[in-house]
Structure 1
């Protein structure tokens, strides 16, 4: 099974823990990888008007990947999905920030594109609603099933998941 890594919104405005940046960076260097970064444009997504909060207009990814895609909202941009399909992957390993919102939205976009989204639980943190990410993991399991809990489990291969 050919796979790639999708790193969701590991950027300064979400204040990711340093261990997450380091470990995701190591994994991104070991396989085809793509990152999204959330940027604010109120004309596209009304974060400030509706939620009283907004991401930075110029944040950058804190993880170096093969490709970077800017998004305005919860979903990864269609160009990111096209890129993943274009490199011929079957399974997309997903990690990053906000397990119960942006990471989950990426799972839906990947699923709808015919790809196999797989959550890397140990490399995903939750939103302010649930920093543990447990809510996002439960929703992911319900909708997509595939969750990998550790690096050891990932290295064991698809047969063990």
Structure 2
């Protein structure tokens, strides 16, 4: 199966746990991987005005990937979606930070673009509202149905 891994916002700004960084790093070494990094630009997304908080102005992905896309808000950019369409993949595996916000926003954009999003449930963590990610995983299953684990994907790579 032609697939790519999308790593959502695994960056210092959001203080990802080491187990997540290590897990994504090991998994991304086995599959084509792209990432989003969320940066602050108040002119594009007024985080400070609306929430009194904002992500860093400069940051980088904490795992090595084939391509990084900078975003200024919750969802992926049109450039990322175009890049994925050009890859002609059968599905996009999604992992990363804030399962019920940024990861879910990526799922909606990928779904709407016809890119078959599949959540890697053991490589995601929720926001401070739900660190377990359970809420986001349930929302993902409700909206997109497709979830998997690293082990299931790796079996498919060898099978």
TM range (shorter): over 0.9
Give the structure 2 partner of residue 153 of structure 1: 152
Residues 1:93 and 2:100 are matched in the alignment? no
Q: Where does residue 134 of structure 1 map in the other structure?
A: 134
1:45-84 equivalences under 5 Å are 45-84=45-84
The separation in 2 between residues aligned to 1:68 and 1:155, in whole angstroms, is: 23
- SS, match of residue 24 in structure 1: helix
Cα root mean square deviation, aligned:
1.2
Deviations along 1:134-158, whole A, 9 cap, x unmatched? 110010000000111x322223339
Report if the CA contact (8 A) 2:5-2:31 is conserved: yes
Maintained 8 Å contact 2:27/2:150: no
Question: 2-side partners of 1:61 and 1:37: how far apart?
Answer: 6
Residue 26 (structure 1) shift: 1.5
**TM-score, normalised to structure 1's length?**
0.94
Question: What is the match of residue 7 of structure 1?
Answer: 7
Q: What secondary structure does 1:101 align onto?
A: helix
Paired position in structure 2 for 1:27: 27
TM-score by length of 2: 0.95
The residue number in structure 2 matching 1:119 is 119
SS of the residue 1:157 aligns to: helix
Question: Unpaired segments of 5 or more residues in structure 1?
Answer: none
